[in-house]
Chains A and B, each alone.
Chain A
Amino acid sequence: LAQKAIIRVIPFKLEPLMLEGVFASVADVTPAEGKLLQFHPLSLCNTSEDEHTIPGFVSIVKLERPERDLHPCLSLANKAKLAGERGARAVLFDITDDQGAADQLKKPRGLSHPVVLIWGHDAELLMGVVNNNREAHVKIEVKEMPAWPDYDVWI
């Protein structure tokens, strides 16, 4: 069972949003927080310019459908690693259009900054914040697993 993540998004001067995602095992399961910044998938390539953004942000990358990026410059694992090297405290991947991405991020690689997958309605809300706000803060927390597996049984 992949570890769930609670993603608290606090747009500037607006009500916070509470979303959910899943920690990818390519990286450590650990909380993180920082300023939200969107990154184009092609920005995480060795050949693309490093923006030299002040470290300490949380990246959100909206993945395109696989057929639109036939020759990816790096694997998703290495894109996540590069994001960390460029100052990201955590990387959020919106995999709504690329469900296969989860498999690429399963193999443990000991990345010290967490990598969280988000999709569907939660992802739509998050990208909505990206589209409509100039600034937002993000807190990623580890959702506590219930002591007993939650069977859908009424006693």
Chain B
Amino acid sequence: MNPSVSQPCPGGCATCSEYNGCVTCKPRFFFFLERIGIRQTGVCLTSCPSGYYGKRFPEPNACTKCKADCEACFNNNFCTKCKNGFYLHLGKCLENCPEWLEPNNYTMECNDIVH
């Protein structure tokens, strides 16, 4: 803990400072840079925010961006939830479903056609 910091570091932080927030994380936590207005501070998380996924290797574990059309992902190539306006199919975000599949506008996924 930084002596100049009055309060202890937040949950997942190993070291922190007043202006930069978390500087290093405890093992198994993901480091993320959060911006609120002018300020950008480090935070240590067990799961990354929307639009990011956690990479556990190499150190330090960090939150890494998903693809632009993806709101939540397993890795850079596999989306688990697409942004508005896209249909999800096998980890990909599509503007339209392939013709052999049926768009479901409630779940925003491409489903098998039910005959």
A/B touching: CB–CB < 8 A = yes
Which one, B15, B23, B38, contacts A135 given CB within 8 A? B38
The residues of A that contact B15 with a CB separation of less than 8 Å are 68
Which one, B17, B35, B37, contacts A64 given CB within 8 A? B17
CB distance from B99 to the nearest CB of A (A): 35
Alpha-carbon separation in the docked complex, A130 to B24 (Å): 22
- Is the pair A36, B23 in contact by a Cβ cutoff of 8 Å? no
- Dominant SS at the B interface? strand
Binding site for B on A (CB under 8 A): 36-43, 47-49, 51, 62, 64-65, 68-69, 94, 127, 129-131, 133-136
Alpha-carbon separation in the docked complex, A41 to B22 (Å): 11
B29 touches A (CB below 8 Å): no
**Smallest Cβ-Cβ distance to B41: which chain A residue:** A40
| A133 and B62 contact, Cβ closer than 8 Å, known pairs A43-B33, A62-B20, A68-B23 | no
The residues of A that contact B2 with a CB separation of less than 8 Å are 65, 68
- Is the pair B19, A62 in contact by a Cβ cutoff of 8 Å? yes
Q: Which 5 pairs between the two chains have the least Cβ-Cβ distance?
A: A134-B37, A62-B19, A40-B40, A130-B38, A43-B33
Binding site for A on B (CB under 8 A): 2, 15, 17, 19-21, 23-24, 31, 33, 35, 37-42, 62-65
- Is the pair A42, B38 in contact by a Cβ cutoff of 8 Å? no
- Is the pair B33, A49 in contact by a Cβ cutoff of 8 Å? yes
Alpha-carbon separation in the docked complex, A119 to B10 (Å): 27
The residues of B that contact A129 with a CB separation of less than 8 Å are 38
The residues of B that contact A38 with a CB separation of less than 8 Å are 19, 38-40
**Smallest Cβ-Cβ distance to A47: which chain B residue:** B62
8 A-B pairs with CB atoms under 8 Å apart are A37-B40, A38-B39, A42-B23, A43-B40, A51-B33, A68-B15, A134-B38, A135-B38
- Is the pair A42, B33 in contact by a Cβ cutoff of 8 Å? yes
Which one, B20, B37, B39, B62, contacts A48 given CB within 8 A? B62
**Smallest Cβ-Cβ distance to A60: which chain B residue:** B38
- Is the pair B38, A36 in contact by a Cβ cutoff of 8 Å? yes
- Is the pair A133, B38 in contact by a Cβ cutoff of 8 Å? yes
CB distance from B40 to the nearest CB of A (A): 5
